[in-house]
Structure 1
C-alpha cells in the first residue's frame, strides 16, 4: 500500500518539524522543503527517521521563478500541503527598513500565493485533498506593535479563505492555523507572556488533526483572545500595545 504524501514548505520551522514527526507516526511519507537542508538532514538523523519515507528538497519561498520547476520535479504529487514558511522583524525595524518589510511580504504572503497557486491549479493531481497555511493572530486586527508583520499574515489568511471557496467544488479542504505565541526560533528574544506560550508539538497536533473547519485556533485561551479581537471596537483596539 502506497502511503499518502505530505509536502511541508518551510519545513525547517519548529512547528513544521513537529508536524514531520507526527505525520510519520501516522504512516505518511514526507516531502520536507526548505532552504536549510543541512538542518533538516541533522533533524532526520537525530530522530532516526526512515530515510525511505522522507525526501528533502530545496525550496526558497522568495525565489518565485523557481516554484514551477520545484513542483514539476516532485515525482509524486502531494495529498496534503502545509505552508509553514515565515519571517518576522520587529515593527520599528520594519518601519525604517523596507528591505526587511519586503522580506516578510515575500516569505509570509507572496511566496505562499506563488507556490500554492501552482499546486492548486494542477488538475492532474487527483491526490490533493488538503492545504493548510500557518497564519497568526497578528493578522486578525491591525495593532501598532506589529501591524506590518500582521498585514502579511492577514493577507495570507484572506488568500486562503478565497482558495477554500475556489477548491470546494473539487472537495479539497483548505485550513488556516491562527496561532498566538509559540516557543519557536522566530519568537526568540521577544518579550512574550509566558502564560500564553504554546509548544510547537502542541500546535503541530492541531495541524495534523485538522478537520473541515476553515479556522484552527489552538488553545482555549487563544480562542478567547481571537474572538475578542474580532469583535473589539476600533477605539479599544487602538489602546492595545
Structure 2
C-alpha cells in the first residue's frame, strides 16, 4: 500500500496545465486531491477524461473573492496535508503599465489572493494534518527588469511572503516551498515570444512540485538554476541592460 494513502492535497488554481499534471502525479503517489478553481467545468471535464472521480474532488474557488475564503476553507471536505497555490494571472508589461485594471488583477491573483487564503490555512492550528505549503512563483520576481517588472513585482512579493511564512511555521514542523519557475509551455504564455530551448513542459515542472523537499527555493531545470543565480548576482548596471 502506498505510504501516502489517505493523505490529501489541496490545489488552489487547479485549472492550470501545471496544476493538472500535478493532480495526476499526486494521485500516482497515493494522495487524494481537492482541486479548486473558478472554472469548475474545465476541471470536471479533466476529471472525467482521466476517470479520476474517486480520487479528485472539484471545488469552486475564486482567488480574488477574499470575503469567501474563510467559508471555502471551513467547508473543505477534509483538512489537507499539502497545499499548492498555483493560481496566476499575467499580462504583458505595457498593458500592466497603461491599464491599472490589468495590473490590479495580477496583484490580486498572484499576491493578495495567496496571502488571504494561505493566512487562513496556516493559522488553523487545529489542522494537525498540515505538513507542507507550496507556492508557485517565478524567475520574473528575482530582479526588477524593464520587460516584466509589473508582473515580476507580484511574484517577488509572493516569494517574500512565503519566506516569512516558512519561518513562522517552522516551529510546527510545516515546510514551505517556493517553486521559482521559468518559461513553461502553458496557456498563460501563449502568444509570447520565448526562447524555445528554455521552455519546460508542464509534467516536468509538476514533478518538482510533487517531490518537493526541504529547500525553500526550488528552481526546476539546470538552465534556469544558472539563470536564477546570474540574476541574483548581477550588478544593477548590468541588470538595467537586460530586456
The TM-score range, normalised by the shorter chain, is over 0.9
1:43 alignment partner, one of 37, 43, 46: 46
Aligned pair count reads 240
Secondary structure of residue in 2 paired with 1:6 = strand
**Structural mapping, 1:123-134, within 5 Å:** 123-134=125-136
For 2:142 and 2:55, locate their aligned partners in 1 and report how far apart those are by CA, in whole Å. Answer: 37
Q: Give the TM-score, by structure 1 length.
A: 0.99
- Per-residue deviation at 1:75? 2.6
Match for 1:212 among 211, 214, 218?
214
**1:52, distance to aligned residue in structure 2 (A):** 2.2
**2:40 corresponds to 1:34:** no
- CA-to-aligned-CA distance 1:164-197 (integer Å, 9 cap, x gap): 0000000000000001000000000000000000
CA distance in 1, matches of 2:18, 2:54: 22
The corresponding residue for 2:7 is 4
Tell me the SS of whatever aligns to 1:239: coil
**2:160, 2:142 → 1: CA distance?**
10
Give the C-alpha shift of residue 76 in structure 1: 1.1
Equivalent position to 1:112, from 96, 114, 122 = 114
Residue 235 of structure 1 is matched in structure 2 by 237
Following the alignment from structure 1 to structure 2, what is the Cα–Cα distance between the partners of residues 206 and 94?
A: 30
More divergent stretch after superposition (51-60 vs 155-164) = 51-60
Match of residue 25 from structure 2:
22
> Whole-Å Cα distance in 1 between the matches of residues 153 and 181 of structure 2?
15
Q: Which of residues 60, 68, 71 is equivalent to 1:69?
A: 71
What is the CA distance between 1:130 and its match in structure 2? 0.0
Report the alpha carbon displacement of residue 46 of structure 1 after superposing the two structures with TM.
1.3
**Secondary structure at 1:52's aligned position in 2?**
coil
Output one character per residue of 1:125-165: Cα deviation in whole Å (capped at 9) or x when no partner.
00000000000000000000000000000000000000000
Runs of 4 or more off by more than 3 Å in structure 1?
Answer: none
RMSD: 0.8
Q: Give me the TM-score of the superposition, normalised by structure 2.
A: 0.98
Matched, 1:136 2:130: no
2:54 alignment partner, SS class = helix
Q: Distance in 1 between matches of 2:114 and 2:51?
A: 30
The answer for the alignment partner of 1:190 in structure 2 is 192
CA distance in 1, matches of 2:56, 2:30: 11
**Structure 1: stretches of 5+ with no match in the other structure:** none
The answer as to 2:160 corresponding to 1:162 is no
- Determine the C-alpha separation between the residues in 1 that align with 2:41 and 2:101: 26
C-alpha offsets along residues 59-99 of structure 1, whole Å, 9 cap, x if unaligned? 00000000000000013110000000000000001100000
Which structure 2 residue ranges, 5 or more long, are not aligned?
A: none
